[in-house]
Amino acid sequence: MNSEYLFAHKHILGLDHLSVPDIEHILTTAESFKEISARTIKKVPVLRGKTVVTLFFEPSTRTRLSFDIAAKRMSADTFSISASTSSTTKGETLADTARNIEAMMPDVIIMRHPSSGAPHYLARHIKTSVINAGDGTHEHPSQGLLDLMTVKEHKGNISGLKVAIIGDISHSRVAHSDIIGFAKMGAHVFVSGPATLIPKKIEKLGATVCSSIEEAVTNADVVMPLRIQKERQNDPLIPSFREYATFFGINRQVLQAAKADALLMHPGPINRGVELAPDVADSPQSVILDQVTNGVAIRMALIYLVLGGK
Amino acid sequence: MVQPQAILLKNCRILDPANKLDKKASLLVEKGKIKAIFTSRQKAPVLPKKLLSFDLNGKWVVPGLIDMHVHLREPGEEHKETIETGSRAAAAGGFTAVACMPNTLPVNDCQSVTRLILEKAETAYARVYPVGAISKGSMGETLAEFGEMKKAGAVAVTDDGKPVLDSQLLRRALEYASNHKMLVISHSEDAGLSRNGAMNEGFLSTSMGLKGIPHIAEEIMVYRDIAVAGYTGCNLHLAHISTRESVNLIRQAKKRGCPVSAETAPHYFMLTEEAVKDYNTNAKMNPPLRTPEDRAAIIEGLQDGTIDAVATDHAPHSILEKDIEFDRAANGIIGLETALPLALELHRKGHIDANRLVELLSSNPARILGVKGGSLGIGEAADITVIDPEQRFVFQEQDILSKSKNSPFIGSALQGKAVLTLCGGRITHNLLLE
C-alpha cells in the first residue's frame, strides 16, 4: 500500500461509499490479521480498553458471533444487545436507543436492522463509529468484503473473473454488496434467478442479468446461490421450494457448466436441497467455511480501521 | 385578524384570468368586498375617510389562492397540525381557502365531523372547505352520507390517503354524488402494486434497498378512474398526479370529452426521486417523487391545460413520524408556505405565464370545487393575495407557521412571496408597511 493512502472512514455503511484503494486496504489489513486466529493464544492487545457494542434488531448467529470474536481477538470489550423491533415501535425510537448506548461511551456500534438505511440514520444521530452488519435489503458490507477476500485468497486476484450470483437478488443485501464490490474490483458479475426476484435496473449497479441460470453459470469462476424465501410481506415470489430447486437450484449438473476450478460460495444459512444440492455444498469446490473463517479477519480489520488503526 | 373598513391597493398589476384582466390599476376594498378596480386614467371612486392604503409599486394582486388538497389533521392528530395552525400557514403562503381531506381521526364521513371542522374554522385564517369521505371510515365498503355532509358544508368527497379499490363503489359514488352536486376526488393507486413501497421503483430504489412503487401503480388506476368517469358521465377529479403516462391518459381523456380534471403538487414539478437520497424522510410521500422524465411531463401538463390545478397535498407530520427509519416513516410533506414561490419558479423559467399561474392556484380550484372565489369581480368577497414576485428568501425551519416542519425545501433559496393576504377583507397575513 502506498504511504500516502489514508483510510478515512469513520463509519462502514456499505461498499458503495468505499473506493477501490479502501477495499484493497481493508483486504490487506484483514489478510495480515488472519494469522492471529490460527495462533494458540488468539489475542492481540491492539484494541485494549476499547468498547464494542453489537446492536441487533434481527436474529443472527454467524454475523454477530463473528463480530464478537473479531473484537475480542483484538482485546476490545464487547457487549451485545438484542432489541426486538417490536419493543422499539412500542416506545423508544432508534435514535433514543442509540443515544442511550452512546452515553455509555462505546467506541463502535455494530448494528443489524431490518430497515434499509437504518445505519445511515444512526450515523446522522450519534458521534460513535457505526458498522453496518446488514440493513434491510440494502447492504451487508462485511459479508461483501469477506467474499472478496475469499475469492482473492483462492484465485490470487479478482479482476477479470466471472462471478455468478443466483437467486433472490431483490431481497439480498449480500447480493447488493457483492455486486458493488466485485464490480468495483473489476470482476464481471452475472445474476440470474426467477424474474420475480431480479430488481429493476440492477444492471446499473454493475451486474449483467441472465434469463437462465445456465447462462449465468457457464464458464464462471465463482458461483454463489442465495438463500430463498417463498414470499415476503404478502408478495408472492415463487410457487414452491420444490419448483425452485428444480429450475433455479445449484446442483452438480448446473455446476458442471462453470469452470472446473470454480468456487462455490454461499452467504449462509443454507437451505439444503432448495437453492443448493447437499452434495454440492460439501464438495471440494465449496469454500463456504473459508468465507466464515475470513469473516472474522475482515471484521477485525473493519473495527480496527474505523478506530483509526493504520 | 384586523378587518379595516376599507383598503386601497395602489399601483399594482391586477391579474384576474377569470375576468380576463391583466393591467396596471388600483383596487379598492370596502366592507369586505371588492368595491372598485380603476386605472390612473380613470376617475377614482370616492375614497372613504378611514382608509388603509398600500402603494404596491407593481406587485401582483390576484384572487386569493385556493389549495384544493390539504390535510389539517384536526380532529385527532392535533400534534401535527390544527385548523388554526394550518390556516395560519395557508394565509402566510397566500392562500385564502383550503379544502381539507377527510382522513382525520375520526374520518370525516358524517355531518357531525363536518360540523366540528367548520366550527373550528370559524376563527381560522382562511376559508376551510371540508371534503367528506366517499366510504364510511374510508374503508372502501359502503357509501358515506354525502347529502348530509353537503348540507353541513362539505364541498366534495374522497377517500384520499387510500384508493377506492372497488370500481363498483367508485361508480356508485360518482353517480350518487351527482345528485348532491358534489365533486368526487380520486386518489389513484393500485394498492397491490404499491404494497409496502417506500419510494419510486427504479435504479435508486434498487440501490438503496427500498421497496419501490412502480409508476404503473398510479397509471392503472388513473385509467380505471377515467373509464368510470366517462361511463357515468359524472365529474371526477384526480388528485396528486405524478407520472408521465398519467398526464398522457388525462390529456387523451379530455380530448374525447371525458369529464375529468386533475391536480399536481409543487414537489412533482420541482423535485425528482433523487431527493430521497441518503434516506431523507422529508422527501418521502405517496405518490412518490418520480424521474426527471415524469417531472418534465408534469410541467408540460401544467402548460397545455391537461393538469388544471396546483394543490399542495399539505401533509404535516411531526418528528415522531418522520425522524425515524425511512421505510417506517410517514408519507407526505407540508406545502402551504412554499407552493407559491415554487409555482413562481415555473413562471420565471418560462414554463407558464402569470395568468396561467393564477388559474392553477386560484380560479381553476374554485371552479372545480364549485366554491366562491378565484375571481376579482366587483362586489365579490375580498379574497385577495398580493404577491411580490421578486422577493428572495431562504425557507427556514424557524419561520414555518405550520405546526410540523416536514419539508424538503428547508434551507432552499426561494423567490416570490405573498406579502399581503386578505380573506373577506380581513388581513390574515401582512408583510407590508402601510
Report CA dihedral (A58, A61, A67, A72) to the nearest 10 degrees: 130
Find the DSSP H helices in B237-337. Answer: 244-255, 266-270, 292-304, 319-322
pLDDT tier for residue B222 given thresholds of 50, 70 and 90? very high
Reference B336, options B63, B32, B56, B81; nearest CA is: B81
Task: Please write the tens of the pLDDT for every residue from B292-306.
Answer: 999 999 999 999 999
> How many separate helices (H) and strands (E) can be counted in chain B?
14, 18
State residue B21's pLDDT score. Answer: 96
Give one word for B235, left, alpha or beta, with left for phi > 0 and alpha for psi -120 to 50.
beta
The pLDDT tens digits of the residues spanning A68-85 come to 999 999 999 999 988 765
Proportion of chain A above pLDDT 70, given as a percent = 96
State the amino acid at position A105 in one-letter form. Answer: M
Catalytic residue among B159, B160, B294, B313: B313
Number of domains in chain B: 2
Residue B402: closest CA among B2, B1, B69, B93: B93
**Listed residue (B259, B271, B226) closest to B245, CA to CA:** B226
Which among B206, B327, B328 is the nearest to A200, CB-wise?
B206
Whether residues B33 and B73 fall in one domain: no
**What tens digit of pLDDT does each residue of B331-375 get?**
999 999 999 999 999 999 999 999 999 999 999 999 999 999 999
Residues of B in contact with A139 (CB under 8 A): 209
| Pairing relationship of beta strands A77-82 and A51-56 according to DSSP bridges | parallel
**Residue A230: is its pLDDT beyond 80?**
no
The whole-number pLDDT of residue A4 equals 77
Mean pLDDT of B26-55: 94
Indicate which CATH number applies to the domain containing B418: 2.30.40.10
Q: Inspect the interface and report whether the beta carbons of B206 and A139 lie closer than 8 Å.
A: no
Question: How far, in whole angstroms, is CA A211 from its chain's centroid?
Answer: 25
**Contact call for residues B421 and B96 (beta carbons, < 8 A):** yes
Q: Which residue of A has its CA nearest to B321?
A: A93
Instruction: Choose the mutation target among A55, A138, A231 for the interface with B, i.e. most B CBs under 10 Å.
Output: A138
Report the sign of the C-alpha dihedral through residues A271, A275, A276, A278, in that order.
Answer: positive
Residue pair B306/B298 in contact by the 8 Å Cβ criterion: no
Please check whether residues B421 and B281 belong to one and the same domain. Answer: no
Is the pLDDT at B281 greater than 90? The verdict is yes
- Residue B324: band (very low, low, confident or very high) from pLDDT cuts 50, 70, 90: very high
Whether residue B210 and residue A233 make contact (CB cut-off 8 A), yes or no, is: no
With CA atoms as reference, the chain A residue closest to B319 would be: A93
pLDDT value for A61: 87
Q: Is the pLDDT of residue B55 over 70?
A: yes
Mean of pLDDT values over B269-298: 98
- Inter-chain CB proximity A138 and B208 less than 8 Å: yes
Q: Classify burial at B22, counting beta carbons within 10 Å of its beta carbon; exposed 0-12, middle 13-18, buried 19 or more.
A: middle
B276 shares its domain with B186: yes
Contacts of B201 in chain A (CB under 8 A): 200
Burial (CB count <10 Å: 0-12, 13-18, 19+), residue A147:
buried
The domain locations on chain A are: 20-139+294-306, 141-291
CB-based contact A204 B205, cutoff 8 Å: no
Query: Residue A2: which pLDDT band, with cuts at 50, 70 and 90?
Result: low
Name chain B contacts of A98, Cβ cutoff 8 Å: none
- Would you say residue A160 has pLDDT above 80? yes
Q: Looking at this predicted complex, what is its ipTM?
A: 0.92
3-state helix, strand, coil in chain B (%, to 5): 35, 25, 40
- Asked whether residue B230 falls in the same domain as residue B303, the answer is yes
Q: Is B207's CB within 8 Å of A204's CB?
A: yes
> Which residue of chain A has the CA closest to B211?
A137
Higher pLDDT, A87 or A51: A51
Cβ atoms < 10 Å from Cβ of A80 = 14
Same domain, yes or no: B159 and B210: yes
Question: What average pLDDT does range A159-184 have in this prediction?
Answer: 97
In this complex, which of B196, B202, B325 lies closest to A201 when CB atoms are compared?
Answer: B202
Superfamily of domain A20-139+294-306: Aspartate/ornithine carbamoyltransferase (3.40.50.1370)
Cis peptide before B75 (omega within 30 of 0): yes
Residue B298 lies in a domain: yes
Angstrom distance (rounded) from CA A18 to CA A184: 9
CATH 3.40.50.261 corresponds to the domain A141-291: no
> Residue B26 pairs with which residues in a beta bridge?
B38
If one counts every other C-beta atom within 10 angstroms of the C-beta of residue B214, the result is 18
What's the confidence (pLDDT) of residue A95? 87
Comparing B261 with B4, the larger pLDDT belongs to: B261
Q: Is the pLDDT of residue B3 over 90?
A: no
**Closest CB to B209 among A89, A93, A136:** A136
How far off is chain B from A118, nearest CA to CA, in Å? 6
Q: Could you identify the residue written with the cell 388525462? A: B250
User: B48 and B72: one domain?
Assistant: no
Strand locations in chain A (E): 51-56, 77-82, 108-113, 129-135, 162-166, 188-192, 207-209, 222-225, 231-232, 235-236, 263-264
Percent of chain B past pLDDT 90, that is, above it, reads 97
**Based on the domain organization, do B165 and B25 belong to the same domain?**
no
Q: Which residues of B touch A175 (CB under 8 A)?
A: none
pLDDT of res. B43: 87
Is B374 inside any structural domain? no
Q: Does B182 reside within a domain?
A: yes
Which of B207, B212, B324 is facing A94, going by the closest CB pair? B324
Instruction: Please enumerate residues of A whose Cβ is less than 8 A from a Cβ of B.
Output: 16, 89, 93-95, 113, 115-118, 120-121, 135-139, 173, 176, 199-202, 204-205, 233-235
User: Does residue A234 have a pLDDT over 80?
Assistant: no
**pLDDT over 60 (residue A86):** no
CA distance A253 to chain B (A): 32
The set of residues, in sequence order, having a beta carbon less than 8 Å from that of A159 and lying 6+ positions away, is A185, A186, A187
Positions of A annotated as catalytic residues are 62-63, 90, 112, 140
**In A, which residues are within 8 Å of B279 by CB distance?**
116-117, 120-121
Confidence grade of residue A88 (pLDDT, cut at 50, 70, 90): low
pLDDT digits (tens, 9 = 90+) for B101-136: 999 999 999 999 999 999 999 999 999 999 999 999
Q: Is the pLDDT at B434 greater than 70, yes or no?
A: no
B47 within domain boundaries: yes
Q: Is the pLDDT of residue A89 over 80?
A: no
Give me the pLDDT at residue A309, please.
Answer: 82
Q: Which residues pair with A188 in a beta bridge?
A: A162
- Looking at the complex, report in whole angstroms how far the Cα of residue B95 sits from the nearest Cα belonging to chain A: 35
Q: Is the dihedral of CA A201, A228, A14, A114 positive or negative?
A: positive
| A138 neighbourhood in chain B, CB within 8 Å | 208-210
Length of chain A counted residue by residue: 310
Q: Who's near B56: CB < 8 A, 6+ residues apart?
A: B9, B10, B11, B12, B386, B432
Does the distance separating the beta carbons of A94 and B207 come in below 8 Å?
A: no
What count of Cα atoms within 13 Å lies in the side-chain half-sphere of residue B250?
32
Q: Is residue B231 part of a domain?
A: yes
Per the model's pLDDT, the better-predicted residue between A100 and B314 turns out to be B314
**C-alpha cell read off for B103:** 382522513
Cα–Cα nearest to B268, from B284, B293, B289, B292: B289
Identical fold, A20-139+294-306 and A141-291: yes
Same domain, B316 and B391: no
* A14 → chain B, closest CA residue: B208
Q: What is the mean pLDDT of chain A?
A: 93
Supply the mean pLDDT for chain B.
97
Residue B1 lies in a domain: no
Is B179 among the domain residues?
yes
* Helix B216-232 / helix B167-179 crossing angle, nearest 10 deg: 40
B91, B144, B148: which is closest to B121 by C-alpha? Answer: B91
Q: Chain B residue closest to A204 (CA)?
A: B203
B45 and B188 fall within a common domain: no
- φ, ψ for residue B416 (rounded to 5)? 105, 135
Give residue-wise pLDDT tens across range A176-219.
999 999 999 999 999 999 999 999 999 999 999 999 999 999 99
Q: Annotated catalytic, B55?
A: no
Q: Is residue B42 part of a domain?
A: yes
User: Chain B interface residues facing chain A, Cβ-Cβ under 8 Å?
Assistant: 195-196, 201-203, 205-212, 214, 278-279, 320, 323-328
Same domain, B198 and B254: yes
- The answer, yes or no, to whether residue A286 has pLDDT greater than 70, is yes
Residue A90 predicted with pLDDT over 70: no
Domain that holds residue B355: 64-369
Contact B328 A138 (CB under 8 A): no
Query: B247 and B351 share a domain?
Result: yes
* pLDDT (mean) for B71-75: 98
Are B228 and B168 in a shared domain? yes
**What is the pLDDT at residue A87?**
53
Name the band, by pLDDT with cuts 50, 70 and 90, for residue A236: confident
Cβ atoms of B135 and B164 closer than 8 Å: yes
Q: d(Cα B237, Cα B259) in Å, to the nearest integer?
A: 9
Note if the pTM is more than 0.90: yes
User: Is the pLDDT score of A127 beyond 60?
Assistant: yes
Residue that is last in its domain, among B349, B369, B389: B369
Q: Is B257 exposed, middle or buried (0-12, 13-18, 19+ CB in 10 A)?
A: exposed
CATH code of the domain covering residue B200: 3.20.20.140
A116 vs B contacts (CB less than 8 Å): 208-210, 279, 326-327
* A307 to A128, A191, A300, B191: CA distances (angstroms): 10, 35, 11, 46
